[in-house]
Amino acid sequence: MPPKAVHKAVLSTVDVARLFNVTETTVKRWADEGTLKCQKTPGGHRKFQIRNVVEFAEVNHFEPTGALTLPGEDQTNGALRVAILERDFQTLVHTFVEKALSPDRSDLRLLFSYLYEHRIALWEIYDLVLKPGMAEIGERWMRGEISIAQEHRASYETLDALAKLQSEILMKLPTGHSILFACLDEEVHEIGLRCAAYLFEAEGWQTHYLGARTPVDSICEAMHDLHPDVVAISVTTPLAPEDLLRQLSRVGDVAHNAGTRLLIGGSGVPAAMRQAPWHDGVMDSGRALLTFIEQWTAERRAQSPARG
Ligand code: B12
């Protein structure tokens, strides 16, 4: 289990780079110029005393907004580390479920930070840990092994922990593209929508988030006011198929008239809707979303090669 307190008095180059959201090369340059005091180990690695890093941040007005490599890494429970190294997602899912149901809220937050710090990509956390983990929690609830209260708490702790993780990740530079996110009026499930929004944000997109239970009229109004490049709707609990079709195709029509693309995601999109002409793609994973972004970027490059 990840430890709960920061014990590191000495930071590595990687730690400092993450702390200030800069590259390791930048940190090495600061150290070599003497602006950031460091000691070198016999092996030539730079080590930074916390007090020197704090002083450096104060003098240069740098805000340490990034995340440290998870504190006390050395004492971390071996099983989790081995699971990460071996990319044993079954164990990671199991650990997620345990932490999500733990009464200590910091457990889940630390777990997400820990996974990310150890090179488990954001989309992998969402698709390969969170999604199967939440499905497991749903099954436990259906089997009567956990209460409604526990399921609700796990959901809201998850949303909080995802927000905390988002504040720690490295974001790409702004792309100038924007996207609007919403769930339809009757939809309370919004964790998947959150994941999609965070992934776009991490890729440098400006995101507008309307959240769960948004009336279709309000989604259309927001498209009119905000002019997003893309609108994304997440569907988990299917409405009566004709209602879902009516609501989504309305969003699609309004979007296309405004030159906005419509993406639909989530586990509740009926298979029959995948080929409909009024949307620009149905996606059931964060990985698929990244492919969309890659294609979008390639198309934009092809349209205006000079801007790159
Ligand atoms: C958490 C949860 C809740 C929470 C929601 C909290 C919240 N704020 O979101 C609460 C407790 C409130 C809830 C309530 C209900 N729930 Co519920 N819930 C779940 C549960 C356990 C997990 C869902 C989840 O968050 N998954 C994690 C996310 C990350 O996965 P995801 O949504 O699939 O998203 C991923 C992809 O699909 C994709 N994605 C999703 N959206 C988008 C969008 C875009 C644009 C893109 C690109 C990608 C993308 O990316 C994500 C990452 O991989 C599921 C169980 C399950 N098997 O999923 C049941 C489940 C969804 N719930 C279910 C039901 C029935 C309900 C209730 C109707 C129960 C009831 N009788 O009251 C109510 C809903 C009431 C209502 N008015 O609608 C059923 C739905 C069955 C069905 N298909 O109809 C499920 C499947 C449980 C079950 N097996 O019966 N629920």
Residues of the chain with CATH 3.40.50.280: 178-307
> Measured in angstroms, how far is the CA atom of residue 271 from the centroid of ligand 1?
17
Query: If we measure between CA atoms, which residue out of 211, 148, 202 comes closest to residue 182?
Result: 211
In ligand 1, which atom is closest to the CA atom of 189? Answer: 9
Task: Pick the residue whose CA is nearest to atom 48 on ligand 1.
Answer: 265
CA distance 165 to 16: 18
**Residues lining ligand 1, judged by CB closer than 6 Å?**
126-127, 130-131, 134-135, 137-138, 142, 151-152, 155, 186, 188-193, 195-196, 232, 234, 236-238, 263, 265-268, 283-286, 289
Residues 109-157: tens digit of each pLDDT:
999 999 998 889 999 999 999 999 999 999 999 999 999 999 999 999 9
**Neighbour tally for 167: CB within 10 Å:** 10
At residue 70, the pLDDT reads 47
Task: Pick the residue whose CA is nearest to atom 68 on ligand 1.
Answer: 237
Q: Determine the topology of domain 1-73 in CATH.
A: Multidrug-efflux Transporter Regulator; Chain: A; Domain 2 (1.10.1660)
Q: Where is average pLDDT lowest: 77-81, 104-108, 234-238, 241-245?
A: 77-81
CATH class of the domain comprising 178-307: alpha beta
At residue 225, the pLDDT reads 96
Query: If we measure between CA atoms, which residue out of 97, 185, 184, 109 comes closest to residue 138?
Result: 97
**To 10 degrees, the CA torsion angle through 205, 267, 168, 69?**
-130
Q: Beta strand 282-283 with 39-40: parallel, antiparallel or unpaired? A: unpaired
pTM (2 d.p.):
0.81
Residues 78-95: tens digit of each pLDDT:
788 889 989 999 999 999
Which of 236, 283, 290 should be mutated for ligand 1, with most atoms under 8 A from CB?
236
Mean pLDDT of the chain: 89
Residues of the chain with CATH 1.10.1240: 77-166
**To 10 degrees, the CA torsion angle through 191, 18, 102, 159?**
-20
**What kind of architecture, by CATH, is found in domain 77-166?**
Orthogonal Bundle (1.10)
Decide if 30 contacts 46 (C-beta within 8 A): no
Residues of the chain with CATH 1.10.1660.10: 1-73
CA 236 to each of CA 173, 179, 233, 244, 305: distance values in angstroms, whole numbers, following the listed order: 31, 20, 10, 11, 39
> Measured in angstroms, how far is the CA atom of residue 236 from the centroid of ligand 1?
5
Left (φ > 0), alpha (ψ -120 to 50) or beta: where does 145 sit?
A: alpha
Task: Pick the residue whose CA is nearest to atom 21 on ligand 1.
Answer: 138
